Structure 1
Amino acid sequence: MSERDETAIPAKAPVGSTPGARLARNMMFYTVLRLLMVVALTLVIIGIGRLAGVDVPVLVAAILSVLIALPLSMILFTRLRAEINSDISAVDAGRRVKREDLRRRMDEA
């Protein structure tokens, strides 16, 4: 490796602190929370149906819970969505910097 190549290698950041790692963690957490909300709402809809003496099919309850969970998750998980958006911006900025650096180095060659 030449001296120039060694200086181009960035120092490794601790695992979980990079924007990409935070984005993956937050997206996974958000997805799990939304799925749990859908399952909970499905059970609530089936339970309310049983209390009312109506047998609600699971598929119908699941479809209703997905429709209810969408706006509800937008309200309940606002902070987490904002973190995800900032992580996406950070990842995009990093990609932009790397792309510009690559273009600069290709022009020099």
Structure 2
Amino acid sequence: MTEERPADGHPDQQAQATTATLIVAVLLYSLARLALVVVLAAAIVFGAKAVGVEVPLLVAAVFGVLIALPLGLVLFKSLRLRVNDQIAQVDARRSQQRDDLQARLRGED
């Protein structure tokens, strides 16, 4: 069984992106980023308890979000690139469909 590769040669990118695969990719990326925030907030709360300091959950969550913003860009680069690629593919397909429709409405074939 041979593996299809897109024009840029990356085997991990799908050859054809649909709206459904785009939604799945965005959900996966969002859940990964959210999980990172939860893990960081938990680490802050339990790390502080380990040294005898009480950190409110809201404060830990805010710091978790602030730390997760740049960290998630680095850790989840492949997911982010997949989402960007699929957005570009879906957008290109929609633009092509719109252009085809415009051509048919003008009477061109």
Letter in 2 for 1:29: L
TM-score in terms of structure 1 length: 0.81
Name stretches of at least 5 consecutive residues in structure 1 with no aligned partner: 1-16
Q: Which has the larger radius of gyration?
A: 1
What is the aligned partner in structure 2 of residue 59 from structure 1? Answer: 58
Quote the residue 1:83 is aligned against. Answer: 82
Which amino acid in the other structure matches residue 58 of structure 2?
A: L
Rounded to whole Å, the distance in 2 between the matches of 1:108 and 1:38 is 54
Contact 2:17/2:89 (<8 A) preserved: no
3-state SS in 2 of match to 1:56: coil
Query: What TM-score do you get using the length of structure 2 for normalisation?
Result: 0.81
Structure 1's consecutive aligned runs of 4 or more residues displaced over 2 angstroms after TM superposition are none
Which is richer in helix?
Answer: 1
Q: Does residue 1:50 correspond to 2:40, yes or no? A: no
CA distance in 1, matches of 2:20, 2:39: 28
AA aligned to 2:39 is: A
How far residue 52 of structure 1 moved from its aligned partner, in angstroms, is 1.5
Quote how far apart the aligned CAs of 1:19 are. 2.5
* Identity of matched residues, %: 41
**How far apart in 2 are the matches of 1:18 and 1:52?**
49
Structure 1: which amino acid aligns with 2:89? Answer: A
Cα distance in structure 2, aligned partners of 1:32 and 1:81: 12
Cα deviations across residues 40-78 of structure 1 (Å, max 9, x unaligned)? Answer: 111100011101211000000000000000111100011
CA RMSD of aligned residues (A): 1.3
Q: How many residues in Structure 1 have an aligned counterpart in Structure 2?
A: 93
Q: For residue 106 of structure 2, what is the amino acid of its counterpart?
A: D
User: Match of 2:104, SS?
Assistant: helix
Number of the residue aligned with 1:5: none
Question: Aligned-pair distance for 1:18?
Answer: 4.1
